[in-house]
Copies of this chain bind each other. A is one copy, B any other.
Amino acid sequence: MIIVMEKDSGDESVENVVGELSRRGFDVHRSTGAERTILGVVGNVETLDPREFELMEGVHEVVRVSEPYKLSGRAFKRENTVVRVRDIEVGGDQVVVMAGPCTIESEEQVARTAEKVSRAGARILRGGAYKPRTSPYSFQGMGVDGLKILRAVADSHGMATVSEVMEIRQIEGMLPYVDILQVGARNMQNFSLLAELGRVDRPVLLKRGMSSTIQEWLLASEYLMSGGNYNVILCERGIRTFETYTRNTLDISAIPVVHKLSHLPIIADPSHATGLRDKVMPLARACVAAGADGLLIEVHHQPENALCDGPQSLYPDQFIKLMDELRIIVPAVGRSI
């Protein structure tokens, strides 16, 4: 932490600040310039609230230096993390596509959709069994019965599975069926849930909160990793901005930024970001071209009959076309698909 004093701060102010820091057990480097004094604070500064010093007499500004995230940063681990899910590697050479319906509705629905997406090249089957719905009257998901369907269908195509967990009490029951536990955007800062998932031996896909900075997102991943679960996949899904034409603004810049700051793999979800299927394909291509390690895409064999988010689900034929386009693009980023 660096404390920058005001230009005209007297010696007394400086001594006050230094005294307070010493009282708390920190070493202080003092640098007295022509213009002002700058104090460098050494020690475990994470426990300090910078605002306490900002409020002291004569202090101009307090700057945090060490980034508050540690385990997720490149400083902790230089090489990329590769998350292994069955025989699939997320964060490796291959761009991994996860596809399937928003919500599990029936065996027929999952089976027909999976057949299409699997043949087109998707490696992981998605499908929600527990749904966060804005209205209490909407369909709330099939629960474990749905997960059994997901597992069986995925197995018959050699696919892995990903499904959203909403509450701590659902975790246990999901483990037999789900290969990647997905944490939704609304739960990105549900710290109790994250802490619990940190103790589970299963990869977690952590979506970015709708109004979370990249730093807050990496901090949330820290909750998982500090519990011992290092198999974290980040997922950009759009942020809230003043532009209302699209549901959210997909922050594609976050892909290269996360790759620079962190060793964790990052995928993107263009379906939720845009909310309309005719925007899903161009943005899916853009994410892969920007270097995403994978995609999470909603596909339904009959979107017009979907119980949830039909308008953002691709038709199987659109998904097949998209995969063909992605196959053209991936060599440009040195990957395969």
The chain A residues found within 8 Å of chain B, CB to CB, are 2, 4, 6-8, 29, 31, 33-36, 38, 40, 42, 46-47, 49, 51-52, 54-55, 60-61, 63, 65-66, 68, 75, 132-137, 166-167, 186, 189-192, 195, 210-211, 213-215, 219, 223, 226-227, 239-246, 249-257, 260, 273-279, 282-283, 285-291, 304, 309-312, 325-326, 328-329, 331-333
Does the CB pair A40–B31 fall under 8 Å? yes
Q: How far is the CB of A105 from chain B (nearest CB, A)?
A: 15
Are A191 and B136 in contact, CB atoms less than 8 angstroms apart? Answer: yes
Does B63 lie within 8 Å of A63, measured CB to CB?
A: yes
Contact of A52 among B133, B257, B311, B325 (CB under 8 A): B311
Within the assembled complex, what's the spacing in Å between the Cα atoms of A262 and B222? 39
Instruction: For residue A49, give the distance in angstroms from its CB to the closest CB of chain B.
Output: 6
Contact of A332 among B8, B227, B290, B328 (CB under 8 A): B328
Whether B223 contacts A136 by the Cβ 8 Å rule is: yes
Cβ contact within 8 Å between B51 and A252: no
Whether A289 lies near B256 (C-beta < 8 A) is: no
CB–CB B135/A46 < 8 A: yes
Q: How many copies does the complex hold?
A: 4
> Which of B166, B214, B226, B277 sits near A192, CB closer than 8 Å?
B166
A104 to B127, alpha carbons, bound, how many Å? 43
Most buried by B among A65, A190, A274: A65
**Complex Cα distance A282/B256, Å?**
7
CB pair B252–A243 under 8 Å, yes or no, is: no
Contact (Cβ within 8 A) B42 A35: yes
Residue numbers in B under 8 Å from A249 (CB-CB): 239, 241, 249, 251, 253
Contact A253 B274 (CB under 8 A): yes
Contact A256-B242, Cβ < 8 Å, known A2-B2, A186-B189, A312-B51: no
Contact B240 A211 (CB under 8 A): yes
Known interface pairs A191-B132, A312-B51; A2-B63 also in contact (CB < 8 Å): yes
Q: A38-B40, A136-B195, A253-B279 are in contact. List 6 more A-B contacts (CB 8 A).
A: A46-B135, A246-B257, A249-B251, A260-B278, A285-B289, A289-B329
